[in-house]
Amino acid sequence: DSMSGRLEQLIKLHQLDPKDPFCPYGIALEHAKAGQADEALAWLDKTLELDARYCYAYYQKGKILAENGRDGEARKVLDAGLKAAQQARDSHAASEIEGLMDSLN
């Protein structure tokens, strides 16, 4: 199926360039789509280790935590994401993160 094909491709690319945060982020999203929250969160953590300013990784991590009833953790992650987005001057990411934060309150 296409999910595993895409996942295999992303894992291969990640092995070729382990410093690129794009691949772990993509891998995380594939796991999230498949409902594998823990796997997704682990890959999002890896993304953020590689690039602490990867705004959308915070967004996705916050979303997954919130979907799994972990609102307190989600808030902390989104808070950090908002700071990263502001530092990166990424107003689109910032507004997405703020929107998700508002939905938690």
Is this structure's pTM higher than 0.75? yes
pLDDT tens for each residue of 10-64? 999 999 999 999 999 999 999 999 999 999 999 999 999 999 999 999 999 999 9
Task: Output the DSSP codes for the chain.
Answer: -HHHHHHHHHHHHHHH-TT-THHHHHHHHHHHHTT-HHHHHHHHHHHHHH-TT-HHHHHHHHHHHHHTT-HHHHHHHHHHHHHHHHHTT-HHHHHHHHHHHHHH-
